[in-house]
Amino acid sequence: MKRLTRIHRIVQRSLILGAVLALSACSMFSSKDPRFEPAPLAEYEGRMPASVRWSASIGSGSGFGFIPYVQGQDVYTASASGQVSRVDLSTGRVKWATQVNKRLSAGVGTDGRVVAVAAPDGTVIALDSEGKELWKAKATSEVNIPPAVGDGVVVVRSSDYRVQAFDAQTGDELWNIQRPGPALALKTTMQMLLVDGMVVTGMPNGRVLLIDAATGALQWEGIVSQSYGATDLERISDVVGAPEFVGPLMCAASYQGRIICFDMANQAQPLWAEDFSTARGIGVNNQMLYAADNRDKVVAFDIEDGNIVWEQDALRNRRLTAPAVYSNIVAVGDFEGYIHFLAPHDGRQMARVRAGSKPITSQPVAVDGGVLVQTDGGQLVFIGV
């Protein structure tokens, strides 16, 4: 009876979490309420040429845990079907593709020498730069966030809120650190970073951690947001996307929480914080921070003081990705496979290109000359601007 009760609770939590994701993604369910209907694609005066330059097949299936990784002139990708690929950034030619004989839940992380992906059962698989398997190791539970690779380590964060590091050459576990976690957490786009020998990771409890990559020693813990509410749903306050660095500032955002920028040159003191809820994450340049809220209104904040510079609600309820920011563009993907290009200074719609018929779940990646997009249909697409 106790075992059946436990199973019932797990199923109930999974169903609740699915509902949360639907709400946070701006009405993934059908509704006659116009407040929740995706905004139709309105006509606008084209201001910037944009087009698909190339497209490459990288396997089937995608999702929140799959984000293309650019290393030099190569793009490394993984798909849910188990294919890991290395693609030439200039031409879209697939240099190699390896089938790892497992379904995957996250990938890729790489430093150009070691390429790491993860499977739903917690298996971490490392390949060399030519796609040959180096080793396999086991995390303590499912991994839904792309591994971080560099400084001689492969780092993963598992669903039991544990961060583990493995030796990049041998797969031997070097250290692990676990933080207390909430009863429920979002399954959405999240990324870890390796910066100056530190693992930088957001956590489901509204915190950002800086961990020494060599030793696993916790160096700093910053509060992005606090959990409030009477229910597990109301208390979800996960840090989403990836923390972003702009000069001395590190900025992060959370669901049902805040956007905040810390001044890392001034004892990591908060420079500013604004109440805000996003399920996807942020993008930044030297002047502004960009994010789409839970209703997919895109908002630009002044990076120095947090004041709102502009808001764009023409894409409401279109299940937008986190923004990719480069030069004169802010790019977001949507549930119909479109990439929307906005002007960074005022949010005007500049261009719209369809990368494919399937949704775009993972954040586009800004590169010289445009953006890379991984679609849920298993295509890697380069859109030039």
Report the pLDDT averaged over residues 295-301.
98
Confidence of residue 136 (pLDDT cuts 50, 70, 90): very high
pLDDT at position 328 is 86
Mean pLDDT score across all residues of the chain: 91
Residue range 89-126, pLDDT digits in tens = 999 999 999 999 999 999 999 999 999 999 999 999 99
pLDDT at position 2 is 36
pLDDT at position 183 is 85
Say if residue 49's pLDDT is above 50.
yes
Say if residue 194's pLDDT is above 90.
yes
Please state, as a whole number, how many other Cβ atoms lie within 10 Å of the Cβ of residue 128. Answer: 12
pLDDT at position 45 is 85
Do β-strands 207-212 and 218-223 pair in parallel, antiparallel, or remain unpaired? antiparallel
Bridge partners, residue 259, by sequence: 253, 274
pLDDT at position 47 is 86
CA distances from 238 to 35, 144, 187, 357 (A): 25, 14, 10, 30
Share of the chain above pLDDT 90, in %: 84
Mean pLDDT lowest for which of 24-38, 172-186, 212-226, 291-305? 24-38
pLDDT at position 359 is 96
The correct answer on CATH 2.130.10.10 for the domain covering 2-384 is yes
CA distances from 294 to 25, 224, 278, 318 (A): 6, 17, 5, 10
User: To 5 degrees, how large is the angle CA 256–CA 262–CA 267?
Assistant: 140
Q: Which phi and psi (to 5°) does residue 58 adopt?
A: -125, 25
Say if residue 30's pLDDT is above 70.
no
Share of the chain above pLDDT 70, in %: 92
Rg of the chain over Cα atoms, rounded to whole angstroms, equals: 20
Burial class of 21 by CB neighbour count within 10 A (0 to 12, 13 to 18, 19+):
middle
CA distance 256 to 268: 23
Check: CB of residue 73 under 8 Å from CB of residue 87.
no
pLDDT at position 305 is 98
pLDDT at position 12 is 39
Domain ranges of the chain: 2-384
Report the pLDDT averaged over residues 294-312.
98
Residues 6+ apart with CB under 8 A from 229: 235
Q: Which of 343, 247, 235 has its CA nearest to residue 290? A: 343
Element (DSSP H or E) covering residue 3: helix 2-24
Residue range 56-92, pLDDT digits in tens = 999 998 889 999 999 999 999 999 999 999 999 999 9
- The DSSP code sequence of 132-159 is -EEEEEE-SS-B-S--EEETTEEEEEBT
